[in-house]
Structure 1
């Protein structure tokens, strides 16, 4: 499908006279196929970049992102193309996610221009909105950055723009890659007649995609230690995969919406209000007012305890023994080795590694033996709540970056997300940011090889997956508290309740310091007075009182039936 630009956009792009870089444009156009634009429209966009960049020709700029396939394509291909077309030299550094945040914090604290632009997760939207140290892009595009803002940028085409918008309605970051945290399972194992027959005999219902945690647990139990030699599978088989080492990546595993999957927070899109998936409550002015139940938060609530206890229980009983000592990067490749039946907490950023020829989870024709589907939800979850996480790595411009350097960096940022390059970039990294890309014919053709990724992103279900929202006032300071405290629970040093009590108290200490310092003004934390927890547990919404039954009736759905329901909803 080719999406045509409006007449006004084409006129705006082609205004500006003769082009100095026709040769470079002609060289690079074949690289950017397929595209949501016609080649003529792509050429018009590239000519606009060449013209808009003239005042900055010869300048060298430095940008940074974490290391994933999408950003490798940007750094190794798009940066070179942009430099040849515009004359602006780009150094696009690839470093660890934690290092990106550290560099950003350094620039925020010192005011020194460390990088001219950052690809920074939208999880920091609450931080950026409150500290006001990044250029809000809504005002930037209409003001100082108007002369370097692509007329055909089409912000409405970005599927994650709501994630990077503050409570003030301003856009603070622009997504350049996006991936969800979904349920992953062995489609071939689930459809095997013997497995289906044995499962029904053991549990009394059909083996299928679990809709709730009760069904997930049954399936994990069923496959762990099961003999699958009738399918040609040798060796030990496991019904679950996860990781548990006390490491910063353990924190992501929980702040990336495990608690919302359990049902800890409130209803709301893109995040629960007034209590979000970190258990942080805000008032009507979006000021954080507490994390512990005694202040109206939910971080140490019964639903949160349930979430942690299930995590530990499943890791111990149903995952490979080595999983408890693994970090995120070590655990990620394990399902592709062919011994795992399902994984609830699986990032679609791993898709490219799961479709390589010759691996145990791909058949001889190159088709995946697995599928991805919406994650099941816990006992406390209610319709209208978010049910999973989406990572939205987003271009971010700091106010401390000099104006000319910010303009040059903004040109490069827009180039990496432009309709000219986005379909090709998405085929490389499989991290969708544009509606026009998701709906492109080339992804209709490729969908059968991607195990449900395209179907998910075209489905109405995707809106219930979102990054950390604006309730979190200082992501870098608070995120480090999670892995340290939950690590105490995963190691057995503390009970789930003890670890969460310590976590919510530590979050409130940080918020109290921010409140006293007044650095975030009248949108910073304003903690509630402590009350008897029963007061808050008896109020509607989150925090929720302990359920009498945390193991409701298991529910499953056939995968093909699920996909059919998505197409019928569109």
Structure 2
């Protein structure tokens, strides 16, 4: 199968037609299907042409419009911007400019549009982490009502919302869909399968630690494995590089906040049980009442962001980063650290955002000559405070969002593009390029059964029921843009050593509560906005069931590992 962006002739054809005075329609659609899609589609060729004809007809009132959309820069969105946007423009006559910028910049643009009412972009691909924000502020079009009313004439009858695997993350407590998933990726444990299966490595590990080298189930085992591999001589495997047992990043940058809000605290066991998010205390440490109103983030108000479990989570991350990671990792951001495992000197990573699987399969240092990986993906281990019934990881669900401040005709044209790039016609091919699945029909496509052995467990994970235990930020967070920036600023102080973990988290939860108190006073989120608890002695809350949890007498659990092959068999 051909997956390179450079391989398509449809792109060249589309670009040549962008300056045409009118769209040419079905001829361009057929050329696109021939040259770009082929048999990598959940639809038959007849069904593909029927879907393209629907887009052509629905787009006629908007032909000649210039529409601007924006997303973060990842492989999936590069494919949309470079291939699918020009193709859509050629087929429909709606000229699409798909901008690619940093994720933090996407949130900033969206926040500016919310505050100013100025239409900066006609549609955004922004994370479903903002679902609590969108539901409370009511500044985005609620898609459930939109598709049934103003947007009915531009809603694809073949959209098939039931085929999307992430709509539970983009649906608010009111039962309405606010965002349409466009790409979805998890954070999973990543490790060098070849190193873990080497007989000398296995014997040496067992001799030193007294148990088998395998996929770590808990953080104690992860730490032992990190220690074992850091600085280990692997010359018997033909490897001369300096080896590290952990990879992470620590630069004081907006992406540092994601490192923690993206379920790190939940994996440690900070929050409560519940799927898709802990209730009443979530993985941000924010507590809500029975009306889904945020009531606190510090222990004094029943939150957990400065609880013993949270301190444990940060201290472990700092320790592992300092002792078992490349020295440069402390100064890296999310995007800089992501490709490092592909360089071939990392033994394991607590979680790898699977958006980086796409570039990994092009990294010779970690791939065999037959195209199979030297690495594998597995569930991330959990910390000492974790309990059965809690979420075990994070999924990023970048989703199409239509602001109410966007004029209706522009929103309709942008909605057509959003549906085109998520359509059954194109989604299998897009999934092969970016490996960010959003449709069940794509995950189950025969081409992924064929390709699965080359993706290190990614397909098996997405075909398993286990994937429901990985989820994005939920609705406890009342204003993601305002609160997210507090995380990297405060956690950065702990990473640098400017503050202890406890001091940084005390500051973080206090800052979050200050924002929530302002929202409560302003009353702009109505009866679903914050309604802060009165402060009490933290011991009152620590003595209650659930989160926040009192400090464990021993945070070092008995280490546990599991055979990777047995784990995969359990998924199937």
Which position in structure 1 is the counterpart of 2:17?
A: none
**2:218 matches 1:212:** yes
Which position in structure 2 is the counterpart of 1:79?
A: 85
> Which residue, 253, 261, 280 being the options, matches 1:247?
253
* 1:72-471 map, 5 Å: 72-356=78-362, 359-471=364-476
Q: Deviation of residue 55 (structure 1)? A: 1.2
Q: Is the deviation greater in 184-193 or in 247-256?
A: 247-256
Which position in structure 2 is the counterpart of 1:63?
A: 69
Deviations 1:174-222 (A, max 9, x none): 0100111110000000000111111111111111001110110110111
In 2, Cα distance between equivalents of 1:318 and 1:35 = 43
In 2, Cα distance between equivalents of 1:461 and 1:123 = 20
Do the aligned residues in 1 keep the contact of 2:68 with 2:121 (CA within 8 Å)?
A: yes
**2:31 matches 1:22:** no
**2:463 matches 1:473:** no
Q: Is the deviation greater in 317-326 or in 182-191?
A: 317-326
In 2, Cα distance between equivalents of 1:224 and 1:96 = 32
Deviations 1:230-260 (A, max 9, x none): 0011031111111111111111100111000
**2:552 matches 1:547:** yes
Q: Is the deviation greater in 26-35 or in 109-118?
A: 26-35
Q: Deviation of residue 20 (structure 1)? A: 6.8
Which position in structure 1 is the counterpart of 2:504?
A: 499
**What secondary structure sits across from 1:242 in the alignment?**
coil
In 2, Cα distance between equivalents of 1:515 and 1:120 = 25
Do the aligned residues in 1 keep the contact of 2:26 with 2:56 (CA within 8 Å)?
A: no
In 1, Cα distance between equivalents of 2:200 and 2:149 = 65
In 2, Cα distance between equivalents of 1:156 and 1:137 = 14
**What secondary structure sits across from 1:514 in the alignment?**
helix
In 1, Cα distance between equivalents of 2:251 and 2:68 = 34
Report the aligned-residue RMSD.
1.0
In 1, Cα distance between equivalents of 2:30 and 2:447 = 23
In 1, Cα distance between equivalents of 2:368 and 2:80 = 31
* 1:517-536 map, 5 Å: 517-536=522-541
In 2, Cα distance between equivalents of 1:382 and 1:42 = 46
Do the aligned residues in 1 keep the contact of 2:26 with 2:52 (CA within 8 Å)?
A: no
Which position in structure 2 is the counterpart of 1:39?
A: 45
Q: Deviation of residue 316 (structure 1)? A: 1.3
**What secondary structure sits across from 1:360 in the alignment?**
helix
Runs of 4+ deviating beyond 4 Å: none
In 2, Cα distance between equivalents of 1:449 and 1:28 = 27
In 2, Cα distance between equivalents of 1:37 and 1:346 = 32
In 2, Cα distance between equivalents of 1:190 and 1:22 = 53
**What secondary structure sits across from 2:351 in the alignment?**
strand
Q: Deviation of residue 22 (structure 1)? A: 2.2
In 2, Cα distance between equivalents of 1:535 and 1:187 = 46
Do the aligned residues in 1 keep the contact of 2:267 with 2:393 (CA within 8 Å)?
A: yes
In 1, Cα distance between equivalents of 2:354 and 2:44 = 29
Do the aligned residues in 1 keep the contact of 2:291 with 2:528 (CA within 8 Å)?
A: yes
Deviations 1:407-430 (A, max 9, x none): 111011000000000000000111
In 2, Cα distance between equivalents of 1:233 and 1:461 = 35
**What secondary structure sits across from 2:366 in the alignment?**
coil
**What secondary structure sits across from 1:539 in the alignment?**
coil
In 2, Cα distance between equivalents of 1:343 and 1:286 = 35
Normalised to the residue count of structure 1, the TM-score between the two structures is 0.95
In 2, Cα distance between equivalents of 1:333 and 1:118 = 26
In 1, Cα distance between equivalents of 2:199 and 2:270 = 37
In 2, Cα distance between equivalents of 1:532 and 1:123 = 31
Q: Which runs of 5+ in 2 are unaligned?
A: 1-22
In 2, Cα distance between equivalents of 1:418 and 1:322 = 41
Do the aligned residues in 1 keep the contact of 2:202 with 2:213 (CA within 8 Å)?
A: yes
Q: Deviation of residue 106 (structure 1)? A: 1.2
Q: Which runs of 5+ in 1 are unaligned?
A: 1-18
In 1, Cα distance between equivalents of 2:515 and 2:455 = 42
**What secondary structure sits across from 1:58 in the alignment?**
coil
Normalised to the residue count of structure 2, the TM-score between the two structures is 0.95
Deviations 1:412-452 (A, max 9, x none): 10000000000000001110000110011000100111111
**What secondary structure sits across from 2:341 in the alignment?**
helix
In 2, Cα distance between equivalents of 1:350 and 1:546 = 35
Do the aligned residues in 1 keep the contact of 2:520 with 2:531 (CA within 8 Å)?
A: yes
Which position in structure 2 is the counterpart of 1:7?
A: none
In 1, Cα distance between equivalents of 2:331 and 2:67 = 40
In 2, Cα distance between equivalents of 1:408 and 1:322 = 45
